[in-house]
Amino acid sequence: MQVKNKAQKRLPLQAGAFKVGLVTSRFNGEITEGLLRSAKLALKKYGVKEKNIATVSVAGAVEIPFALQKLALAQRYDCLVALGCVIRGETPHFDYVCKMAQEGVLRVSQDFRLPVGFGVLTVFSVKQARSRFHVGGEAVEAALELASLQF
């Protein structure tokens, strides 16, 4: 049996008609702006039209699931993407914020049967976060891939 080290990407050839909702937190704005730029570059790369992209800004990572839920309720999107950054501090607050964001995003995806790309960084430092702007694009790719699944 052969084990592959890297996940093979299976992306849609034609995502131009997809409607995508992006939810970005403003907390750690330098980082989340980089994630958003990466996400928008990926959307452009896969042919998603700018008029089909909705961008919502929220205060922090904890608020991301609520905004995703509001977008999902609108029933206009083929997929959604969550973008945020939580940097560990000296208190357990980090753990609660990460858990609330992750579980909330998962719940929206499952409750609405809607792909949600998870681009919320959980890191130890700003330096680590700055080296991970690419995660925004990867979250878009994951969401587009799931949105293109046909059975």
Catalytic residue ranges = 93
Whether the CB-CB separation of 55 and 22 falls below 8 Å is answered with yes
Query: Residue 87, Cβ neighbours under 10 Å: how many?
Result: 18
Which tokens is 16 given? 């131009």
Which tokens is 141 given? 């790719």
**11-25 burial code (b ≥16 CB/10 A, e <16):** ebeebeebbbbbbbb
